[in-house]
Amino acid sequence: MVAAPVTVQPHERWDDAILYFVVLDRFADGDPANNQGVDRAAKGTFHGGDLRGLRGQLDELAGLGVTALWITPVVANIPGFVTGAGFPDWGYHGYWADDFYAMDRRFGDEAELKALVDDAHARGIKVLLDVVYNHAGYDSAYTKDPRYRGWLRTEGLGTCGQDDITSCVSGLPDFKTELPEVRDYLLKAQIDRAKRAGLDGFRLDTVKHVTHDFWQEHRRRVDAELGEDFFLIGEVWGGDAQSLDPWFAGGEMDAGFDFSFQGNALAWVQGRGRTIAFDRYLKSREKVREGYLLSPYLSSHDVPGALFQLGGDRALFRLAAILQLTARGVPTIYYGEEVGRPGGDWPENRSDMPWGDRKIQPGAGKPRDEALRADYQKLIAIRRAHKALSRGLHTSLSSDGDLLVFLRRDEASGDAVVVAVNRGTAPATAGFAPPAEWGTEAVEDAWSGESIPRSGDRIEITVAPREARILTASRKTT
């Protein structure tokens, strides 16, 4: 008998989502027959992960509590490699397109993409596809075909500019997206594929290297052909609540990655900077334009992973994860960080998903921290049970020394949660008046399961070293 799929309650709104990011080639190999040029011992080669493999592990994600999945591009990538990094570096990540109208057979075909989306939907998970409009791959067919050569700025032709729009990012051939024929060609490729596969959204690559009028046309066509609920989240390098606003002001995307979160959170848990300053930073993240979202992350494919930056210190990493999953916005979990994948500097930040004793390539035998994964499951469940954590406003309750205590409150749902995080090496105490939303209900620490006594109209808590508390009214599980 085939086991029923693990399901998750779909998110109601995108600010309630839990987004999980997978580099497809490094996750799970479900079809060894498409393993062209696979060499798992080399860091710049294909390792064999594909759509079928990811599809086979959707229960892993649903069981974690993931409600949205972001996968790297699936277009046909350049057939060869480049050596600028000092070793043969292939397009295993999907960002070096050779043909936008074809799927890369090393990942699978469109039937597999649609099957992934259908199976994810059956589990309550939405699927976002990473799309690139700014550039083609190194020495791509587009640079050689006379039909397309005039569409690109290249270093070889000396036509790369010096500004964000006309520069050739990392030396990649830069599409002249200001030309109507280029724009139409690229938009049709991605939008038609999304329509055929039933995708729920796009992750937009290299946003600031493409003009606003392109993104405005993109939004119009997406709304018209894929529906106004189709979600657009963009990568504006260095983006935060303020610098993302030009793209939000024109409605060009719904959300942007918050590049400020990783550095601020990791610095604070390591004892750098005053707690009051970090508390003010968390409050400042509310300045995003109404109706638009930030997506905080701890690790990604472009920066050293959080656990690596913390020197492997899992206690501090848990604190960072607690801060991320109690922060406003759409938290992005980078594949494997929830099981302790170290995620070093590039290219180690794109290492194989650890599967422990499960015989799943390419990461079979790589150790995984199941206790850390259980903590992520609990954190995600707490977040999803409390609208205050995904939608609520931030109020400081205490920011003395190494102890940070703040309230998240959502008036619409009548929900309130108090979060206390101690980065120090000694116990720390704080007292506060319980939020009105709790009424006279009993108070519990949802993180530890402990009951928290009241002392008149005050609550006094002690937080152990390098630990946290997430306090709620016992009845508040909406």
d(CA 193, CA 57): 23
Cβ atoms of 349 and 307 within 8 Å: the answer is no
d(CA 127, CA 193): 13
Residue 349 is given by DSSP the state G
pTM of the model: 0.97
d(CA 293, CA 257): 9
What element of type H or E holds 91? none
| 449: CB partners within 8 A, 6+ apart | none
Q: Which CATH class is domain 14-134+177-385?
A: alpha beta
Mean pLDDT, to the nearest integer, of 61-89?
A: 96
pLDDT for position 476: 42
In this structure, what are the phi and psi dihedrals at residue 387, rounded to the nearest 5 degrees?
-60, -25
Nearest to 115 by CA among 229, 196, 222: 196
Q: Residue 170 corresponds to which tokens in the numbers above?
A: 């990392």
pLDDT for position 149: 84
Q: Examine residue 362 and say whether the peptide bond preceding it is cis (omega within 30 degrees of 0).
A: yes
Judge residue 224's burial from the number of C-beta atoms within 10 Å of its C-beta, 0-12 exposed, 13-18 middle, 19 or more buried.
Answer: exposed
Of 3 and 110, more confident: 110
CB atoms within 10 A of CB 138: 21
Write down the mean pLDDT value for the chain.
96
pLDDT for position 475: 61
Q: Residue 415 corresponds to which tokens in the numbers above?
A: 């929900």
Q: pLDDT of 355-376, one tens digit each?
A: 999 999 999 999 999 999 999 9
* Confidence grade of residue 1 (pLDDT, cut at 50, 70, 90): low
Mean pLDDT, to the nearest integer, of 178-203?
A: 98
What element of type H or E holds 215? helix 212-226
Mean pLDDT, to the nearest integer, of 395-404?
A: 97
Q: Examine residue 173 and say whether the peptide bond preceding it is cis (omega within 30 degrees of 0).
A: no
Nearest to 243 by CA among 207, 279, 282: 207
Q: Residue 102 corresponds to which tokens in the numbers above?
A: 């074809």
* Confidence grade of residue 477 (pLDDT, cut at 50, 70, 90): very low
Domain residues of the chain, as ranges?
A: 14-134+177-385, 393-473
d(CA 220, CA 432): 49
Mean pLDDT, to the nearest integer, of 197-218?
A: 98
pLDDT for position 456: 82
pLDDT of 85 strictly over 60: yes
Cβ atoms of 443 and 434 within 8 Å: the answer is yes
Mean pLDDT, to the nearest integer, of 16-32?
A: 98
d(CA 191, CA 331): 26
d(CA 55, CA 123): 11
d(CA 94, CA 75): 7
Which amino acid would we find at residue 262? Answer: Q
Same CATH fold assignment for domains 14-134+177-385 and 393-473:
no
Q: pLDDT of 213-222, one tens digit each?
A: 999 999 999 9
Q: Residue 159 corresponds to which tokens in the numbers above?
A: 């036509």
Q: Which CATH class is domain 393-473?
A: mainly beta
Judge residue 418's burial from the number of C-beta atoms within 10 Å of its C-beta, 0-12 exposed, 13-18 middle, 19 or more buried.
Answer: buried
pLDDT of 468 strictly over 60: yes
d(CA 192, CA 198): 10
The percent of residues above 90 in pLDDT, for the chain, comes to 96
Q: What Å distances lie between residue 430 and 230, 363, 394, 396, CA to CA?
A: 44, 44, 17, 12
Q: pLDDT of 401-420, one tens digit each?
A: 999 999 999 999 999 999 99
Residues in the chain: 478
pLDDT of 474 strictly over 90: no
Residue 3 is given by DSSP the state P
* Confidence grade of residue 343 (pLDDT, cut at 50, 70, 90): confident
pLDDT of 478 strictly over 50: no
Nearest to 258 by CA among 272, 240, 279: 240
Q: pLDDT of 446-464, one tens digit each?
A: 999 999 999 888 999 999 9
* Confidence grade of residue 2 (pLDDT, cut at 50, 70, 90): low
| 212: CB partners within 8 A, 6+ apart | 246, 247, 250, 252
Nearest to 417 by CA among 405, 404, 429: 405
Number of H-type helices and E-type strands within the chain: 12, 20
Which amino acid would we find at residue 213? Answer: D
The percent of residues above 70 in pLDDT, for the chain, comes to 99
Mean pLDDT, to the nearest integer, of 31-42?
A: 95
| 76: CB partners within 8 A, 6+ apart | 97, 98, 99, 102, 103, 104, 105
In this structure, what are the phi and psi dihedrals at residue 136, rounded to the nearest 5 degrees?
-105, 180
pLDDT of 248 strictly over 90: yes
d(CA 232, CA 6): 27
